[in-house]
Amino acid sequence: MTTSQKEVFTEALAEAPLHRFADWPNRTIPSVCAGVYSVYDRLERFIYVGMAGAKLNASEIDRKKAQAKRSGLYDRLDSHASGYRSGDRFNIYVGDLYVLRTLSTEEIEGISDGLMSFDGLIREFIRGELTYRYVITSNTVVRGLETHIQRNGIRGERPAINGKS
């Protein structure tokens, strides 16, 4: 993929509709597809770029659809909307960088004692504070496009969490 093609996809992502995690699930996302997405905080600051579906070639898409399974972009955003940290790096970042700083000593102790759910608090934060955009792509371009956006940003703004210099 050329730099100009990456820029076309990046601009498409910048112009894509903004969706609230509060409104999850998003039935407009195909059940099986590859894509790249961007996440924004309440002030519409760009905080994260991610990708999904790198292994979804045409035959894999057909197989998953025939099995009525969800895979790729839908699954990734569903995982983020859940707030569960297990297996979800984005949710770990959100918990560590955004939610933890808002907790009182009593809440931290409640989490440590198993009386409160940190994952639940992360879910509340994601659903209450974050929005996302997405663009559907082929599986062959998602990794390169994600890296391009991490390094160059969207309209010059790199993601706060996983931007690269």
What is the per-residue pLDDT for 23? 98
3-state secondary structure 17-53: CCEEHHHCCCCCCCCEEEEEEEEECCCCCEEEEEEEC
Which residue, chain included where needed, has tokens 């390094």?
Answer: 151
Residue-range domain boundaries for the chain:
3-152
Check residue 118 and give its pLDDT.
98
The confidence score (pLDDT) of residue 66 equals 92
Across the range 145-163, mean pLDDT stands at 97
> Residues 6 or more apart from 106 whose CB is under 8 A from it?
none
Strand partners, 37: 50, 134
Share of the chain above pLDDT 70, in %: 100
Instruction: Please give the pLDDT value at position 130.
Output: 98
Burial class (CB in 10 A: 0-12, 13-18, 19+), 27: exposed
Is the pLDDT confidence value at 135 over 90? yes
What pLDDT, on a 0 to 100 scale, did the predictor assign at position 33? 97
pLDDT tens track for 29-48: 999 999 999 999 999 999 99
Q: Does residue 42 contact residue 129 with C-beta atoms inside 8 Å?
A: yes
| Contact status, residue 135 vs residue 36, Cβ threshold 8 Å | yes
Q: What is the mean pLDDT of residues 49-61?
A: 95
How many angstroms separate the CA atoms of 123 and 38, rounded?
A: 18
CB 16 within 8 A of CB 136: no
Q: Contact, 70 vs 31, CB < 8 A?
A: yes
Which of 3-7, 12-16, 99-103, 132-136 is the least confident region? 3-7
**Matching residue, tokens 């790198």:** 54
- For the segment 115-138, the average pLDDT, to the nearest whole number, is 97
pLDDT of 67 above 90: yes
The overall average pLDDT reported for the chain is 96
